[in-house]
Structure 1
Amino acid sequence: MLLDVLQGAEAGTFIIFLDSVNFSGRSLLKGYINAALKREDVVHVLELEVSEEELRAGLDTQCARRMYFHGGFADPLGWIKRSSFTVPQFTSEDILTLLTPVQQSKSAVLVIDSLSWLLRHLDPVVICKRLQEIKRGGAVKTIIGLLHSDMHQTSLVGSVCHLATTVISLGPRTQGQWALAKTTKRTKSGKVLQEEELFSIQEDLTVHSRVSHTVHTQAEPDSVEADPMANLTFNLRLSEMEREAKEKVALPFVFSQEKKSALLHPGQGAGQIMYEPDANDDFDQEDPDEDLDV
């Protein structure tokens, strides 16, 4: 699945490389950039954490004409006015302004290095909202962000990752040059696919992988209600014979035609109850408690 993500066939995707101090995800990020350049995508990089020279190192130089850096490394917060892009400029309008001069017939790939820089200096709610706006705007084919999980609270990391269509969690090296990648991908049908792979990155930034473990789950599985009659010591269900016998029993509040006729048309000699109130039964409507002597 990792190599499928690097191919970048689907449009409108948001990919997060989730790394930590145990393993840096920048090499895999550069591997994705290199793959995007080779398939002739236009790549825009918001450099906030490392310099342009470091990000260009190892990339295919023949494809460099389709790669555009928007420098924020020298002055990411805009204090000395030396950067072409700063953290406060992370808005859908400013991103569109950066893409417009070099916009071609197809959408571009936007690389954010890194999302942690934005989360450290902007309201996370604002960042999530702007990421959604950029994703839905149509000018960007794919958004790729590097996020350092150990720099933020778990709840914050989870909120940002919830917006992504694919999250690649990177672990430390396990076998020589092989490192662990756990890919979680949400498909358009609502399914969530998970796969653990071992991967290695070559000097030319090509990525090799082999599957370690695959899991297929539903994004929102239907909740299964517990059967309240599952573990009872007595039986509440009826057999077919018992059900038939029950249906033949006449209910006490259901009158048959004969009983209805007898009640509506009483015959001769039918008894009647006559009641004549005496003096002690005198009832005063204005004093219903008269007989209580109070």
Structure 2
Amino acid sequence: MLLDVLQGSEAGGFIVIQDTIHCSGRELLKCFVNTALKREDAVHILGFETSEEELRNGLDNNCALKLHFHNGYTDPLGWTNCSLFTVKQFTTEHIGQLLKKSTNPKATTLVIDSLSWILRHHNPVTVCQRLHELKKGGSVKVIIALLHSDLHQRGIVGSICHLATTVISVTPGKRERSAMAKTTRRSKSGKVMQDEEFFNVTKDYAVTVQSRSSYPEPRQTEAETTEADPTANLTFNLRLSEMEREAKEKVALPFVFSQEKKSALLKPVKGSGRILYEPDANDDFDQEDPDDDLDI
């Protein structure tokens, strides 16, 4: 699945590469940049954590003209007032102006290195809103962001990952210079697919998958398939024997009248009072509207 995400980034996608201090995801981020350049996409990089020279090192030089690096590394907070891009300029309007520098691109890929820098200086709700606007605005084909998950609270990381269409969590692999990618991909229909793959990155920033282990479908064991008896280990008995059941059926319920009791209650008794009503001449009683005399 990792190679499918790398090669076929669909329009309107938002890919989050989630790493920790134990395993960096920047090499995988550069693989996405290199692949986008080979697709002849115009790649705009908001760089806060690495210099332009370091980021360009190892990428395809034939496609270098398609790479636009917006330097937020030299002065990310704008203290010297000489930086072309600062973290405060992470707005939909300003980024839209940066994307216009591309000349007739087939598609535009926006790379954020890293999103953690922006989250430390902006409200997470505002960041999610602006990412959503960029994703739905139509000027960007795909957004690829690096996120250091161990620098933020779990709720913030969860909000960003919920907004993403693909989340790639990078952890250390079993072998040297290898890593494991846990990929969670959500299609437009809402179907969620997951996969775990061991991979390594070559010197020219290409991804090689070493082994793949798809998530198996959940299997039910015999203990799960057989229904457990909730009355098995009780200290009292909830079942009736045949004799107890027959005795229970013979007991008359208090709200059920026997035939003798019904006859006794319905039999008229001498001297019992009755109420007789004779309509008066002034009574105006309408059979069709009995409540006609009421002020309703």
Could you say what secondary structure the match of 1:101 adopts? coil
Deviations 1:198-226 (A, max 9, x none): 00001111110134321378xxxxxxxxx
Q: TM-score, normalised by structure 1?
A: 0.73
Deviations 1:106-163 (A, max 9, x none): 3300000000000111100000000000000000000000000111111111111110
Seen in structure 2, the aligned counterparts of structure 1 residues 119 and 40 have a Cα distance that, compared at 3 Å, is same
Structure 1 residues 232-247: aligned runs within 5 Å:
none
Give the structure 2 partner of residue 161 of structure 1: 161
Give the structure 2 partner of residue 17 of structure 1: 17
Give the structure 1 partner of residue 175 of structure 2: 175
Give the structure 2 partner of residue 51 of structure 1: 51
Q: Is the 8 A contact 1:194 1:216 kept in 2?
A: no
Deviations 1:14-54 (A, max 9, x none): 00000010111000100110011111111000001111111
Q: TM-score, normalised by structure 2?
A: 0.73
The one-letter code sitting in structure 1 at the alignment partner of 2:53 is: E
**Deviation for aligned residue 1:105:** 4.9
The one-letter code sitting in structure 2 at the alignment partner of 1:167 is: V
Give the structure 1 partner of residue 190 of structure 2: 190
In the comparison of the two structures, how many residue pairs are matched? Answer: 261
Give the structure 2 partner of residue 81 of structure 1: 81
The one-letter code sitting in structure 1 at the alignment partner of 2:82 is: R
Q: How far apart are the structure 2 equivalents of 1:198 and 1:151? A: 24
Q: Is the 8 A contact 1:20 1:150 kept in 2?
A: yes
Deviations 1:69-105 (A, max 9, x none): 1111111111211221111111111111101132525
Structure 2 spans left out of the alignment, 5+ residues: 218-273, 277-296
Q: How far apart are the structure 1 equivalents of 2:166 and 2:19? A: 14
The one-letter code sitting in structure 2 at the alignment partner of 1:133 is: E
Q: Is the 8 A contact 2:200 2:210 kept in 1?
A: no
Give the structure 2 partner of residue 288 of structure 1: none
Could you say what secondary structure the match of 2:101 adopts? helix
Could you say what secondary structure the match of 1:82 adopts? coil
The one-letter code sitting in structure 2 at the alignment partner of 1:26 is: R
Q: How far apart are the structure 2 equivalents of 1:73 and 1:43? A: 17
Structure 1 residues 65-80: aligned runs within 5 Å:
65-80=65-80
Seen in structure 2, the aligned counterparts of structure 1 residues 215 and 106 have a Cα distance that, compared at 3 Å, is same
The one-letter code sitting in structure 2 at the alignment partner of 1:154 is: R
Could you say what secondary structure the match of 2:100 adopts? helix
Q: Is the 8 A contact 1:178 1:198 kept in 2?
A: yes
Q: How far apart are the structure 2 equivalents of 1:181 and 1:208? A: 12
Q: How far apart are the structure 2 equivalents of 1:113 and 1:135? A: 17
Structure 1 spans left out of the alignment, 5+ residues: 218-271, 275-294
